[in-house]
Chains A and B, each alone.
Chain A
Amino acid sequence: MLQDSVQKFVHRHYSFDDRNAIIDSGSGYSEQCWQLFAELGWLTVPFREDDGGFGGLATDMMVLMEEFGKAMVVEPFVPTAVLGGGLIAALGSAQHKEQHLVPLMEGKLQLGAALYEASGRYNLASVGTTAKRDGDHYVVSGSKILVLNGEAAQQLLVSVRTQGAERDEHGISVVLIDAASAGVHKKAYTTVDGHRAAQISFTDVRVPVANCLGAEGEALSALRRVVDRATLCVSAEAVGALDMLLQKTVEYSKTRKQFGTAIGTFQALQHRMADMFIECQLARSIVVMAAMKLDSDLTEQEKARAVSAAKSRVGRAIRKVGQEAVQLHGGIGITNELDVGHLFKRVTGIETLFGNSDFHTARFASL
C-alpha cells in the first residue's frame, strides 16, 4: 500500500526533470511535495501509535525509503521525521511531543539534527559542543558539520556536552534550539547528491533548560538508536537507487550498439551485470534482515549489530554497482544530463552518511 502510494506520487510529481527543478529552487525541496507527504500520511510512518503515528515500524520505513531511493527524492524526510522527530519521540516529554510531533506530522515543522563535529568523524560520542548551565538556561557553544536540512530547519536537535570530557559516553544531552536564536550561524550548501545541509556554529546560544530532551547527560544510547534507524532508512534508500542503476544499465546495454551489435550481447559485460544483480540482491536481503530485527524484541546490541551489518554491506554494493553502472554507460554515465550519474552520486553520498563501510564493519566487530 505504502509502496503503491509512493509510486503514484513519483509518477505524477517526481520525474528527473521535476527533481532537477526542485534542487535548483531556493529552498532545495518542494513545499508542495512536502504537504503531499503529510496528506498521504508518510510523515507519520516513523512514529508509534501512542505518539500519534502510523506505527513506527522499520519495515514500513524501509518500503517508503526504497521507493524514495528509486526517484532520488530530496525532500528532508530523514532529517525531519526520522532523526529530528525520532529524537523527540525517543527522549522528549509528553509536552515536547505535543509541541513538535503534531506539527511535524502535519507538515508544518522542519527539523535538523546537529550531531557530528569536525574532529569526531562518525563517533556520536565525540561531542565538543558544550552546554553550560546558567540559571534556568544553558549557554551552548561549539560547531557542527553537515547538518542535513540545516538550512530549512526551524528547530535544531543538537548533541551537547553537559558534563565530562570530549569523548565520554556520559554527559551527552540533546537540546532543542530554535534556529532563529541569537548566536546560531549557518553556512548552508547543496550536497553532492542534491540535498541541502549546513555547517552550524553556536556562539553562547541561550537555551531554556526545559529544552533538554530526557535526563541531562544520558542521551547517548537513544541518540545511537535513532541514528541507527536513520542509517537503516538511507540503506533502504540505497537499495532502491541501486536497483534503478542496475535496471538502467541493463536497458542501456540492450540499446547501445557498438561493433554492430548491442553491447549487452557481450558475455564479458553480461557477467558484470549479473554481478551487479547479485550485489543488489544481497544489499536488499541484508536491509530486510536489519529492518526485521529492529522491529523485533531483540536486545539493543543485537539491533545495532544488524544495522551496522546492513550499512557495511550496502556500502560495498554501492561501490561496486555504482562504479559498474557508470563504466558500462561510458562517458554519458558521468554527464549531468543523464539520471545515472545522479543516482551514482546519491548512493555515493549514502555510503558516507552515518559512517562508511569500514566504520560499520569495525562497529559490527566491536559489538
Chain B
Amino acid sequence: MNASFTAEELQFQEDARQFLEAEFPKDIRAKVEQRVRLEKDDYVRWQKILYKKGWAAPNWPEEHGGTGWTAVQKYIFAEQMARFGAPEPVAFGMKMVAPVIYTYGNEEQKKRFLPDILASNVWWCQGYSEPNSGSDLASLKTSAVREGDHYIVNGTKTWNTLGQYADWIFCLVRTDNSVKKQEGISFLLIDMKTPGIKVSPIYLIDGTPEVNEVYFENVKVPVENLIGEENKGWTYAKVLLTHERTNIAGVPRSKVRLEKLRMLAAQTADGNGGTLSDDPIFKNKIAEAEIQVLALEYAELRALAAVSVGKAPGPESSILKVVGTEVAQFIDELYMEMAAWQSLPFVPDQFVEGFSGEEIGENGEAATALNYFNNRKASIYGGSNEIQKNIICKAVLGL
C-alpha cells in the first residue's frame, strides 16, 4: 500500500479519464449534473458502452469477463467514474447475484446467466427482505415447496429496488421449516415473467416509486434455477452481503460531492454580502466531512490491501458500510443547509426527464431536501448500521 501512484497507475488514470471523456454519453452526463433522475435506458446504454470496452465488471474474475485490474486500478477507475458522474452499474446483477453465480452456481448456470449480466441484457433485482423480516433476515417466510421438477413459491418480498424494470429476481426462500432458521433457506433465481408474480410500487417520502413489494402466488420455478445446494442459501447470501458492503463506502462519490459543495458554497450568498465560503461554521462542517472521508478512504485502502494479499473481505467491511453511509448522509445535510429556503419546495417532477414547467431554485437546490429524505435509507439497507455493529461486536470484538 503506497500513498502515491506509480507511473503505470498514473497512465491508467489518464486512460480511464480519456475513455470517460470520449465515451460517457453527454446527455446522461447532463442529466446527472442537473439532477434529473436516470431511467432504465440510461443505465443500460452506459453499461453496454463499458461492456464493449471490456470494463463492465472490474470485480469479476477474469475468466468470466472481469478486467484483471489490481485493487489500485479498481480504485482509480471508481474515482474517475465518480468524477464524471458516471452511474455505477446497477448493483443487483453485476455486484450481487453474479458473485453468487460464479462462486456457487454450476457450469450450466454460469453459461446461462453471466454473459447476459455482463452485457447488461438482463436487469436483475433483489428478493431478500420481507415485511416481517428486515434486520432479522433469516426469519424469512417466503416458501418454495418442491413438486417434481419445480418449486412452488409463495410469499412477499419488499424493498425491491427498481424491481419495476427487472427481468429476473434472485430470492432467498424457505425450503425447510423443521430446522434452525438459517439452515432451511435456499437461493433461487426467478424469471419475473413467470405467472403469479405481481409487482406493486412503494412510494417514498421524496415522491419516488423507487422500491416495490413483490408478491408470489403459486409461482412455478424450475429446479435448475436453484443455486448450489438446497438449504445452503444463507451461506451464499452472507457472501453476497459482504460484497455488497465492500462496495458501499462510496468514497469517490463523497469526494466529488464535497468538491462540488465547496464550489457551490463559494457562489452561495451568506446574506451578509459575502458567500458561504466566508462562513467559518459552514467551512468547518465541510472540513469535518472531508476529514472523515479521508479516514474512510484509507480504511478502505487498507481493507483492499488485505484482500489483495488473499484475505477474504472480512467483517471489517462493516466499518466501511457504517461510516460510508453516515458521511454520505452528513453531506446530504450540508447540501440542504446550503440551499436554505430553497430546499423546501417539493417539486419532484422537475427532476424527471421531460419536465417543461418553470423550475424552482438553482443548481438543484430544491432536490437537496428530497435527497436528504431519500438517503436516510442508506443506514437502513444492506444490513442496517445496527446490524453492522452487531457483526463488529460478534466477529471482531468477540463479545
Report chain B residues within 8 Å CB of A260. 136, 139
Interface check A358, CB cutoff 8 A: yes
B359 nearest CB neighbor, chain A only: A187
Q: Contact at B360–A187, with CB atoms within 8 Å? A: yes
The answer to whether A327 has its CB under 8 Å from any CB of chain B is yes
Taking beta carbons and an 8 Å cutoff, which residues of B are in contact with A?
129, 132-136, 139, 158-159, 202-206, 211, 269-273, 281-282, 333, 336-337, 340-347, 358, 360, 369-370, 372-374, 376-377, 379-381, 384-386, 389
| Distance, CA A63 to CA B271, complexed state (A) | 33
Residues of A near B269 (CB, < 8 A) are: 118-121
Per CB-CB distance, the 9 closest pairs between chain A and chain B, nearest first, are A121-B271, A123-B271, A258-B136, A341-B205, A119-B269, A336-B203, A192-B346, A146-B341, A191-B344
CB <8 Å contact, B373 and A330: no
Beta-carbon contact of A334 and B373 below 8 Å: yes
In the docked arrangement, what's the CA distance between A194 and B345, Å? Answer: 10
Contacts of A335 in B (CB 8 A): 202-205
Taking a contact as CB atoms closer than 8 A, the residue among B205, B281, B342 that contacts A334 in the complex is B205
List CB contacts (< 8 Å) of A304-333 with chain B: 319, 323, 326-327, 330-331, 333
Shortest distance in angstroms between B316's beta carbon and chain A's nearest beta carbon? Answer: 20
The answer to whether the Cβ of A224 comes within 8 Å of any Cβ in the partner chain is: no
**Cα distance A259–B343 when bound, in Å?**
39
Which of B270, B271, B358, B386 contacts A187, CB < 8 Å?
A: B358
Q: CB distance B134 to A197 under 8 Å?
A: no
- Chain B's nearest CB lies how many Å from the CB of A245? 13
User: Does B134 lie within 8 Å of A330, measured CB to CB?
Assistant: yes
Say yes or no: is A356 at the interface (Cβ < 8 Å to chain B): yes
Chain A hits for B205, CB < 8 A: 334-336, 341-342, 344-345
A284–B281 CA distance with the chains assembled, in angstroms: 26
**CB of A167 closer than 8 Å to a CB of B:** yes
Main secondary structure of the interface of A (DSSP, over half): mixed
Q: Which residue of A lies closest to B347 (CB)?
A: A189
Query: Are the CB atoms of B345 and A120 closer together than 8 Å?
Result: no
Q: Hey, what's the 0/1 contact readout for A121-152 against B, CB within 8 Å counting as 1?
A: 11100100000000000000000011000000
Sample of 6 A–B contacts (CB below 8 Å): A122-B271, A167-B273, A334-B206, A336-B205, A337-B202, A342-B205
B-side contacts of A27, CB under 8 Å: none
**Contacting residues, chain B, for A330 (C-beta < 8 A):** 134-135, 380, 384
Complex contacts, A123 vs chain B, CB 8 Å: 271-272
Residues of A near B270 (CB, < 8 A) are 121
Q: Tell yes or no: A1 within 8 A of B by CB.
A: no
- Known A-B contacts A191-B346, A258-B134; the reply to A352 vs B341 at CB < 8 A is yes
Task: Name the residue among A189, A342, A344 with the largest chain B CB count within 10 angstroms.
Answer: A189
Q: Which of A184-211 contact B (CB under 8 A)?
A: 187, 189-194, 197, 199
Q: Does A278 belong to the interface (CB within 8 Å)?
A: no
Question: How far in angstroms is the closest Cβ of chain B from A19?
Answer: 14
Which of B134, B271, B336, B337: most chain A Cβ within 10 A?
B271
Q: Are the C-beta atoms of A326 and B376 separated by less than 8 Å? A: yes
Q: What is the CB-to-nearest-CB distance from B134 to chain A, in angstroms, rounded to a whole number?
A: 5
- Complex interface: chain A residues within 8 A of B342 (CB): 118, 145-146
Of the listed residues A126, A333, A352, the one surrounded by the most CB atoms of chain B closer than 10 A to its CB is A352
A348 CB contact (under 8 Å) in B281, B345, B372, B374: B372
A197 contacts across to B, CB distance below 8 A: 344-345
In the complex, A94 has a CB within 8 A of chain B: no
Across-interface contacts of B159 in A (CB, < 8 A) = 331
Taking CB atoms, residues of chain B closer than 8 Å to A187 are 358, 360
* Partner among A145, A167, A331, A344 whose Cβ is within 8 Å of the Cβ of B381: A331
Give A266's nearest chain B residue, CB to CB: B386
Shortest Cβ distance from residue B78 to the other chain A in the assembled complex, whole angstroms: 27
Q: How far is the CB of B212 from chain A (nearest CB, A)?
A: 12
| Partner of A345 from B132, B133, B345, B373 at Cβ < 8 Å | B373
Interface check A362, CB cutoff 8 A: yes
> Do the beta carbons of B341 and A145 come within 8 Å of each other?
yes
Closest chain B residue, CB of each to CB of A340: B205
Which residue on chain A has the smallest CB distance to residue B134? A330
The residue of chain B having its C-beta at the shortest distance from the C-beta of A355 within the complex is: B340
Contact B346 A116 (CB under 8 A): no
Q: Taking the complex as formed, is A41 at the interface, i.e. its CB lies under 8 A from any CB of chain B?
A: no
Kindly state the separation between the CA atoms of A12 and B210 in the bound complex, as whole angstroms.
34
Question: B377, A331: Cβ atoms under 8 Å?
Answer: yes
Quick check: is A298 within 8 A (CB to CB) of the other chain?
Answer: no
CA distance A335 to B205 in the complex (A): 5
Across the two chains, which residue of chain A brings its CB closest to B285?
Answer: A358
How far apart are A72's CB and chain B's nearest CB, in angstroms?
A: 13
Q: Report if A349 contacts B (CB, 8 A).
A: yes
| Min C-beta distance of B249 to chain A, whole Å | 19
Bound form: Cα–Cα A224–B281 in Å: 23
Task: Say whether A121 contacts B340, CB under 8 Å.
Answer: yes
Q: How far is the CB of A223 from chain B (nearest CB, A)?
A: 15
Q: Point out which of A121, A327, A335, A345 has the most chain B C-beta atoms below 10 A from its C-beta.
A: A121
Q: How far is the CB of B166 from chain A (nearest CB, A)?
A: 18
Q: Are the CB atoms of B281 and A259 closer together than 8 Å?
A: no
CB distance from A31 to the nearest CB of B (A): 22
Docked complex Cα distance between A269 and B135 (Å): 13
- Distance in Å: Cβ of A211 to nearest Cβ of chain B: 25
